[in-house]
Structure 1
Amino acid sequence: MLRFLNSGESHGKGLVAIIEGLPSNINIDIDYINSELARRQKGYGRGGRMKIETDKVEILSGIRHGKTLGSPITILIKNKDWENWKDIMSIEKKDMDESSIVTRPRPGHVDLAGAIKYNHRDIRNVLERASARETATRVAIGSIAKEFLKEFDIEILSHVIQIGCYREKCKEIKFETLRLAEKSPVRVLDRELENKIISEIDRAKKQGDTLGGVFEIHVHNLPIGLGSHQNWDRKLDGKIAQILMAQQGIKGVEIGAGFETANMLGSKVHDEIYYENNYKRTSNNAGGVESGISNGEDMVVRAAMKPIPSLVKPLKSVNMETKEEFEAQKERSDVCAVPAASVVAEHLIAWVIAKEMLIKFGGDDIKEVKRNYNEYMKYVSSR
């Protein structure tokens, strides 16, 4: 069973993750992981924290001479900003500075519900763990999953299709074209749209406001047969939706034509099948998944991210101690993090796909997994 556990607070000493269940002898490139962490930190509209942190991964266990050992992998990403927060976030018992205690919850954040649920006077005990800073470990974890998927020529790319009111026109996109998103500060393919979005982010910043948007992820070279229709918790599309909805700020997920299918006739929705050396489709409205199982087409997933709830001009709130009306707590944050969120989502999906590959093909060593995979692909081509 492939699984991970991560821990750490936004302004704590660092972020830690442990991965268990990866086969041995997978090639792992530390520079590649760090380059993926750098991608997460980019994007027009990011805040001051990105000027402080330059995320680098430190592997504490599970990898030797560039290859996985089959034992648990431990990852550490240090927080440079810890030096500025070591008194406020002290692990040792100290008298609290009353002025540093957060009691005004931000609308749209976990502050109020979390403080009540866990019985915290200081909301910082909640918001530090809820912060999207935690996604740095998930990108590192997903980067290792991507290294595993490279063994099977499975690749995952993303791009932004909407920020604020500006959206790309719907069109079929060739997988290779998605690489152009890396050249855009807002990760869009349309350069005219890029300029409009940058101007919109600038306007929101001047107004002390924030922006959300929509991004799209494509998974290329998936085999037929990942996931299962047998039980609800084994469905591939359900697992994809769950892990994306667990990403900070995500409020909606759709696969393939998604919500648009509600406006279409069945004859226009379902992808007709033909055979040319193997089974193919004339369209991909299903987004590569039918009834919880990958069907051999590219997986196409979109997610909607809400505007960040930390505002320079805060909304009205209540002081939890006095119950008096106050402006919500101000916290350092981004104006728009949709481009970064698309990068995080790539790695979350990579994790799910890697897990499904091991469920399907198993093995303690990468060569064993590949043997099982190759035998299965021979069987598929014979059907």
Structure 2
Amino acid sequence: MTRTIIVSATLTSLSMDDVTTSSQSYELQLALAFSEIHSTTIISLVAVSDARRQDLKLVALGSKPRGLTSAWNLTRRLLREKPQGVQVISFGYDPLTVLPLLFSRALGARAYTVVFDTHVGATEQFAPTKRTLANAYFGLGRLLLRPLNGLFVVTKTAENIFARMNKSIFRTRIGFDPEQAKPWALPKSEEFRVIYAGALEVYNGIQQMMDGVILRNSNEESTRRVVLHLYGTGGLRQTVELYAERDEAILYHGVSVKAEVDAAVLRSNLAFNLRVLDHPVSVNAFPSKLIELLGSGVPVATTAVLPSAILSRYALIVTEVSAESVRDALLLAEKSDESFAEKASLARSFIAGEYDWHDIVSDMSGFMGGPSTAAV
């Protein structure tokens, strides 16, 4: 009998109400989708209470997300599991997370990791010596990927890179659950509300986004004020707070649970999804935030993180990450808000059909040698 164990360093519960990041959203929705195929357990390094949601179980280790203690607790828990028919899935390549998977594999389990992110974004602000040590640490983690049964990646570029470390590699997708999304309608407001929700990092064009809003509001053609609402945290948090203090068109809300962010999206005229495409972080990243935004039916202004031929049907393409491009996108969105609302409606149907969680986990399970939803 096949069982799936998903190792998480972020999930604190089985409720989407407690989700605050796209990574948490992905991990929980992936686990829920797997639980519809067969027995599925999340082993959470950080949760403090066990929980159950239908056929999905959460085992809480109550550790810190990283470190020797959490690695030891995870190893002990995995070694207690009967390995026959077990497929263990983790995320990333932190050595202290990969090593317990290797111990589990040595006893007969099948071990995999999903590489949809990179350590570069978290370490690029480090001092040179600290960054060198961090790169060496995560370099060891990448070497430890070789003995795993396989890897999941989400971009072709990442597939080419990680295939050098493990030949058994599968390109997957990040899904969307349309049943959880409430319909968007064009807001009636004197302001043009714009939202960004995500990591406040250089590679997400945060400063250019804010500068673009300020440029737009200083434009003589402006008929109503644009207000930018930002949700999230990251290396540019202090910069965002400074902008918010100086300009009333920049509003920073900090970190909020998913339900609050979703409600804010529905109140917005436009959502931004910018990414500096030549940044190292973009190599592995899959546009999960973009998928959620398009699936919600809100008009989206985005860089071409998916093929432009597809995106141009459903979103407003921002040609480069600059204040001027952001300003131009805002002016165009305001003038053509009804036509972009029609695009957004088409996008919702497209996402529901192309990014179905059931199809995604069916393919992943088949790759690991387990049952698929097609066989259930």
TM-score by length of 2: 0.27
The structure with the largest helix share of the pair is 2
Rg larger for? 1
TM-score by length of 1: 0.26
The structure with higher relative contact order (CA 8 Å, sep 6+) is 1
